A and B are shown apart, each in its own frame.
Chain A
Amino acid sequence: MSATEERTAYIGAPVKRREDAALLTGRATYVDNMFPPGTVSMVVVRSPYAHARVKSIETSAAKAAYGVVGVLTAADLRDDWKAPMPCAWPVTEDMKSPDHYPLTDVPCYQGDGVAVVLAESRAQAQDAAELVEVDYEPLAAVAGVEKALESGAPLVHPALGTNECYVWRLDTDATGQAIDEADVVVTRTYFQPRLIPNAVEPRSVLAVPGTTGDVTLYSTTQIPHILRLLAAAGLGLHETKLRVVAPDVGGGFGSKLNVYAEELLALALSRRLERPVKWTEERSENYTATIHGRDVVTEYTLAATKDGTITHCRARVKAAMGAYLQLVTPGIPLLGAWIYSGPYAIPNYSVEFTGVFTNTTPTDAYRGAGRPEATYVIERTMDALADELGMDKLELRRKNFIEEFPAQLASGLTIDSGDYHASLDKLLEALDLDAIRAEQAKRRENGGALLGVGFSTYNEMCGLAPSRILGAIRYAAGGWDTATIRCLPTGSIQVITGTSPHGQSHETSWAQIVADQLGCDIGAVEVLHGDTSISSIGMDTYGSRSLPVGGVALYHAAEKVIDKARQIVAHQLEVSPEDLEFADGTFSVKGSPDKNATLASVAFGAWAAHDLPDGMEPGLEATAVYDPPNFSWPAGAHAAVVEVDPETGDARLVRYVAVDDVGTVVNPMIVDGQVHGGITQGISTALYEEGAYDDEGNLQTANLLTYLVPSAAELPSFELERTESPSPTNPLGVKGVGETGTIASAPAVINAVLDALSHLGVKDIQMPATPERVWRAIQEAKS
Chain B
Amino acid sequence: MRHVALTVNGTRHELELEPRELLVEVLRDRLRLTGTVVGCDTSSCGACTVLVDGESAKSCTLLGVQANGSEITTIEGLARDGELHPVQQAFHDFHALQCGFCTPGMVMAAVSLIEHGEATSEAAIRVGLEGNLCRCTGYHNIVAAVQDASTAMGRAS
Residues of chain A whose beta carbon lies under 8 Å from any beta carbon of chain B: 14, 16-17, 19-28, 30, 32-33, 35, 123, 198-202, 248-251, 253, 282-284, 502-505, 669-670, 672-673, 676-681, 703-705, 709, 711-713, 715, 717-718
B72 in contact (CB, < 8 A): no
Nearest chain-A residue to B92 (Cβ)?
A20
Tell me whether A200 and B41 are in contact in the complex, defined as CB-CB below 8 angstroms, given that A16-B92, A717-B143 are known contacts.
Answer: no
Residues in A neighbouring B103, C-beta threshold 8 A = 23-24
Asked if A200 contacts B101 (CB within 8 A), the reply is yes
Asked if A26 contacts B33 (CB within 8 A), the reply is yes
Tell me whether A26 and B35 are in contact in the complex, defined as CB-CB below 8 angstroms, given that A502-B99, A712-B126 are known contacts.
Answer: yes
B19-56 vs A, CB cutoff 8 Å, 1 = contact: the mask equals 01000000011001111111111101101000000000
Residues in B neighbouring A33, C-beta threshold 8 A = 28, 34, 37
Residues in A neighbouring B142, C-beta threshold 8 A = 712
* 5 nearest A-B residue pairs (beta carbon): A26-B35, A23-B100, A250-B101, A503-B99, A680-B138
Nearest chain-A residue to B134 (Cβ)?
A200
Asked if A679 contacts B138 (CB within 8 A), the reply is yes
Rounded to whole angstroms, the CA-CA distance of A705 and B44 in the bound complex is 7
Tell me whether A505 and B98 are in contact in the complex, defined as CB-CB below 8 angstroms, given that A30-B37, A705-B44 are known contacts.
Answer: yes
Residues in A neighbouring B35, C-beta threshold 8 A = 25-28
B59 in contact (CB, < 8 A): no
Asked if A202 contacts B39 (CB within 8 A), the reply is yes
Asked if B40 contacts A717 (CB within 8 A), the reply is no
Number of interface residues of B (CB under 8 A): 57
Rounded to whole angstroms, the CA-CA distance of A23 and B134 in the bound complex is 14
Residues in B neighbouring A503, C-beta threshold 8 A = 98-100, 136
Residues in B neighbouring A199, C-beta threshold 8 A = 99, 101, 135
Asked if A703 contacts B92 (CB within 8 A), the reply is no
Within the complex, what minimum Cβ distance (angstroms) separates A283 from chain B?
4
Which of B63-71, B73-81, B149-157 lies on the face that meets chain A?
Answer: B73-81
B116 in contact (CB, < 8 A): no
Within the complex, what minimum Cβ distance (angstroms) separates A504 from chain B?
7
B120-157 vs A, CB cutoff 8 Å, 1 = contact: the mask equals 00100111011111111111111110000000000000
Nearest chain-A residue to B126 (Cβ)?
A712
Rounded to whole angstroms, the CA-CA distance of A713 and B122 in the bound complex is 10
B62 in contact (CB, < 8 A): no
Residues in A neighbouring B84, C-beta threshold 8 A = 24-25
Asked if A24 contacts B88 (CB within 8 A), the reply is yes
> Which one, B32, B36, B88, B140, contacts A35 given CB within 8 A?
B32
Residues in A neighbouring B78, C-beta threshold 8 A = 25
Residues in B neighbouring A20, C-beta threshold 8 A = 91-92, 97, 100
> Which one, B37, B39, B107, B129, contacts A712 given CB within 8 A?
B129
Within the complex, what minimum Cβ distance (angstroms) separates B23 from chain A?
15
Residues in B neighbouring A678, C-beta threshold 8 A = 138
20 residue pairs of the A-B complex, CB under 8 angstroms, read A23-B99, A24-B92, A25-B75, A25-B79, A26-B104, A198-B135, A200-B39, A200-B134, A201-B39, A202-B40, A251-B136, A283-B40, A283-B44, A284-B42, A670-B95, A676-B141, A677-B135, A677-B138, A704-B40, A711-B133
